[in-house]
Chain A
Amino acid sequence: MTKANPLLKPKKLDRATLISIVIICLVYVLAFVLEQVMPASSMLFTVLKKGATYALVAVSMNLLNGFTGLFSLGQAGFMLIGAYTYAIFTIPVASRLSVYQYYNGGLIQFSLPVVIAIVLAGVFAAFFAFLIGLPVLRLKSDYLAIATLGFAEIIRAIFQWDKIGFLTNGSNLLRLFPTFNDFNIRNANGDVVLYLSTLVPFVITGVCVAFVMLLINSSFGRAFKAIRDDETAAEAMGINLARHKMLAFCTSSFFAGVGGAMLAMYANSVQAKSFTTAMTYEVLLMVVIGGIGSVTGSVLSSFVFVACSEWWLRFLDQEQVINGWKVPLLRNGFRLVVFSLIIMAVVLFFRQGIMGSKELPDLFRKRHKLAGKGGAKS
């Protein structure tokens, strides 16, 4: 966005885009400032970190399901690969013996810088996507969904296999790798002088989502949309289906892998059995609620989704007594009932999701009645 060469600009930035960029920058500044002034234990930061993580995964899923029309349910599998790749390569050498206590410290006896490990997480996920894409991408719609779902389950089982425990630590936790909190800058006494643990996931997600936005608006993005709208016609217009589906699949998996690495950093530990199918469905819900075919919709709905499930609806799980009157229905698990109802309402009344196929700048064009949405990135 900062490149000045006019030749590189096929389209000029219009007012609506500028407003959106300003809003996004404000969100970043706000996140940074809030982190400095509010207590680090606030629920807000949990939501923001997890929201940023899921936003990236949701966008990666939207790239595939919403923009290329490939209905894939393998996201949890690729996140798992990303999370493990990140964890395996970043556990400090000194901690390896205690982490891999049943495997004599494991096979790998070095650790890589965080940034390289994050990129590697994406690369490994994309590589696995390439391998399974070769047979699987020939399938259509439901069959593709079933095949990718199966892949995710198989990956989950394989990573818990104790024969490769020297690499994956079997079914035990991987831990002690750098997490979001390690990005906070501390002084000699160990007190935090600058909080960056929320800004860092925001930046990672921001960079990745910006890439996806650019991709979608490039010639390849148009080809992806053409495949989604009509495969036969796209092929007749000279678009190589196999190649483009593979590109979309690998790109999506790359970002799912990066998202997996972020999830590892958020959760402080990694265990294969937590990457369940339910995780994929959660991401799918975020995509559907945000609007299939809207990147900003996915980002927005991820934050709202995480906030609802982690924070705003928590009170429903606790019994409450007001002036001696016990509020009925409130008990452990009631949150999920309400949450499901909200989701059903959204799906019933907003068929297109919150954003439909619109993006943030579209909200500032033509009709102004929808203006005033914040909190979305890119």
Chain B
Amino acid sequence: MSGNVLHLDNVTMQFGGVVAVNNVSLDVNEGEIVALIGPNGAGKTTVFNVITGVYAPTNGRVTLRGKVIAEDHPRGKMRKLYVGGHVYEYIHTVNNTPDKITKMGMARTFQNIRLFKSMSVFDNVIVAKHMNLKANYLSTALHLNGREEKQMREETLDLLRIVGLEDVKDEIATSLPYGKQRRLEIARALSTNPSMLLLDEPAAGMNPQETENLSAFIREIKDRFNLTVLLIEHDMNLVMDISDRIYVLNFGALIAEGTPEAIQSNPDVITAYLGVAEE
């Protein structure tokens, strides 16, 4: 239970005059389930989008297992480069596209389900294996990579069996009931062989029974695939049930961090969620 997996260092994300994420620093360690909570519009999903490369941060740095995956400085913050006695100044930026970050072992799900609508359950999951394809374009198109394709299919079937979607593998993804669509989205993310999983409101729209199943499911896949999990969630039962630690975000800034017990009794958090009583 040690070793830093994800580290955000003073990340700021600004859209014009709106500061969606303000100087947020957080850590997720190996094997943890960490929750990111906060009222609507607090900037939780923006944090996810910065981590996964959808947005380049206005300022700050994101590291995954010690490797910088996104970094930027506002204008004026320069770095120096020494080449043969000469000093060059430059603005240092690292800006990976989402697909590269996924290849580094970070997978995510989306707040409003984003399945591949016209494709079958099986195809939705196997598509995530495409990034590791070794055969070139032409030989893949001519189906000369049969062995590789066969292996991809077997791995996908295994995964579908584990997540309990094997019986619906030939259905069109969007014809599944809501809970299974959520499950499929997680399965698709798992199909990229991640070491870290980001879940954006996995329990949204679920009834208490489904939510309970989900929390068991998240624990199960976490243990089976040795995952580290960061999740955004509004359902406090789920959050308090499975999180090791919780970060609370309000108006783009972190206002609290701690164990579920500590967060529950934190006055700042209660104020953020319930507002201040008028005196």
Nearest first, the 3 A-B pairs at minimum CB distance are: A238-B131, A229-B116, A238-B102
Complex partner residue of B119 from A217, A220, A226, A232, CB under 8 angstroms: A226
B126 at the interface (CB under 8 A from A): yes
Chain B residues within 8 Å of A236, by CB: 52, 98-99, 102, 107-108, 110, 114
* Distance between A255 CB and nearest chain B CB, rounded to angstroms: 12
Q: Which of B21-60 contact A (CB under 8 A)?
A: 52, 54
Contact A220 B140 (CB under 8 A): yes
Interface size for chain B: under 10, 10 to 19, 20 to 34, or 35 or more residues?
A: 35 or more
Interface of A (DSSP majority class): helix
- A226: B residues at CB distance < 8 A: 116, 119, 127, 130
CB-CB contacts of A199-220 with B at 8 A, as 1s and 0s? 0000000000001001101111
User: How far is it, in angstroms, between the C-alpha of A144 and the C-alpha of B99 when the chains are bound?
Assistant: 22
CA of A240 to CA of B100, assembled, Å:
8
Report if A319 contacts B (CB, 8 A): no
User: Which A residues have a C-beta under 8 Å from some C-beta of B?
Assistant: 5, 7-10, 211, 214-215, 217-223, 225-226, 228-230, 232-241, 247, 293, 357
If A238-B128, A239-B99 touch, whether A8 touches B116 (CB-CB below 8 Å) is: no
CB pair A247–B116 under 8 Å, yes or no, is no
User: In the bound complex, what is the Cα–Cα distance between A82 and B152 (angstroms)?
Assistant: 37
| B71 contacts A by Cβ under 8 Å | no
Q: Which of A221, A228, A232, A239 contacts B114 (CB 8 A)?
A: A232
- A239 proximity list for chain B (CB < 8 A): 99, 127, 130-131
**B residues within 8 Å of A by Cβ?**
52, 54, 97-99, 102-103, 107-108, 110, 114-119, 123, 126-133, 137, 140-147, 149-150, 152-153, 188-189, 191-192
What's the least CB distance linking A95 to chain B, in Å? 36
Contact call B127/A223, Cβ cutoff below 8 A: yes
Distance between Cα atoms of A240 and B137 in the complex (Å): 14
Cross-chain contact A222 with B52 (CB below 8 angstroms): no
The docked-state distance in angstroms from the alpha carbon of A217 to that of B120 is 13
Taking the closest CB of chain B, its distance from the CB of A330, in whole angstroms, is 44
- A230 adjacent to B114 (CB under 8 Å): yes
A10-B146, A219-B130, A230-B114 known; A240-B97 Cβ under 8 A: yes
If A8-B144, A235-B99, A239-B130 touch, whether A230 touches B152 (CB-CB below 8 Å) is no
Closest to A357 in B: B118
Query: Are B153 and A10 in contact (CB-based, < 8 A)?
Result: yes
Given the contacts A218-B141, A232-B114, A240 and B150 also touching, CB distance less than 8 Å = no
Interchain CB contact under 8 A, A10 and B116: no
- Cross-chain contact of A223 among B103, B118, B130, B142 (Cβ < 8 A): B130
A222-B142 in contact given A237-B128, A238-B192 (Cβ < 8 Å): no
| Set of chain B residues within 8 Å of A233, measured between Cβ atoms | 110, 114-116
- Whether A9 lies near B118 (C-beta < 8 A) is no
Offer 21 A-B interface pairs, CB within 8 angstroms, sorted by A: A8-B143, A214-B141, A214-B143, A217-B143, A219-B145, A220-B130, A220-B141, A225-B118, A225-B119, A225-B123, A230-B117, A233-B114, A233-B115, A235-B97, A235-B99, A236-B52, A236-B108, A237-B191, A238-B99, A240-B131, A247-B137
